[in-house]
A and B are shown apart, each in its own frame.
Chain A
Amino acid sequence: MTKTIRREIPIPQPREQVWRAITDSATLAEWMFPNDMEPRVGHQFTFRVPANPKVGFDGMIVHCEVLECEPPSRLAFSWSAGGLVDTRVSFQLEPDGEGTRVLFEHSGFDISESWSEQAFRGAEYGWAKMLGQLPAVVAARNASVRTKQE
């Protein structure tokens, strides 16, 4: 029972810019979290999800390792956090006219015997709190991004 999240996102900017946004540590931090990413296979890094005392969230460390790195077309890294062990996040960047088509996957959501109830509850709690801090700004961003695409 393994599940995969898949998304296909059109981006008007060329692949090189998108590649930078997903591999440059500072740029990556602007849309994800503070991190020490380096784009080379075997590099181990973390995302440091900040605490939010207002909602009782203690913060979270996501442990990652770069698994594939082929600029400017393919990046994959492992993702372990809370109840998720060695799931896999990947970005495939395909040219799309002047822009880029991003094929995103987060795979390996495995409900198997290695799962303990407690680990699951921890993950559930952490993510629920984390999602809780995403402000209404995201909705506003949504609207503006959609307008741009249309």
Chain B
Amino acid sequence: MVSTSDREPDVFTAISHPARRRMLDLLIEADRSVNVIAGHFEMSRPAVSQHLRILLDSGLVTEQRHGRERRYHFVPERLGPVRDWISQYERFWDDHLQRLQKLLSKKSEE
């Protein structure tokens, strides 16, 4: 099992496993209990709990008490680092494509 980072919960690690991404997909629709979540998977309950623990540690998911059961809640804002990672490449290409435009306009003046 991949461990999370020492200093901060790592969102990239949390979403690196297909089962955890499916769990998030389930939680987008509604808050759900561990039993309901486990019902969508063939793996054992402890395995499901272990995946949920990683999601909790990353902050992508919180747990809330509803009477006797706990329900898991998805916090999409925590996906920010993933968006930021992509946006670095967006900036990279924006800069370089502008250089391309500039180069072509310079060459056609020559």
A residues at B contact (CB < 8 Å) = 1, 3, 5, 7, 9, 11-13, 17-18, 21-22, 27, 30-32, 102, 104, 106, 109, 111-113, 115, 117, 120, 123-124, 127-128, 130-131, 134, 138, 141-142, 144-145, 148
Q: Do A21 and B98 contact each other (CB < 8 Å), given the known contacts A106-B93, A113-B16, A124-B85?
A: no
Select which of B12, B17, B92, B107 is within 8 A of A127 by beta carbon: B92
Interface of chain B residues 35 through 75 with chain A (CB within 8 A):
none
Nearest-CB distance from A117 to chain B (Å)?
5
Give chain A residues whose Cβ lies under 8 Å from the Cβ of B108.
12-13, 17
Most chain A beta carbons < 10 A, residue from B92, B94, B101: B101
Q: List 14 A-B contacts (CB under 8 A).
A: A13-B107, A17-B108, A21-B100, A21-B104, A30-B99, A117-B12, A117-B13, A127-B92, A130-B92, A131-B95, A134-B95, A138-B98, A145-B98, A145-B105
Q: Note all chain A residues with C-beta closer than 8 A to B13.
A: 117
Give Cα distance in the complex from A27 to B102, angstroms.
12
| B19: min CB distance to chain A, Å | 10
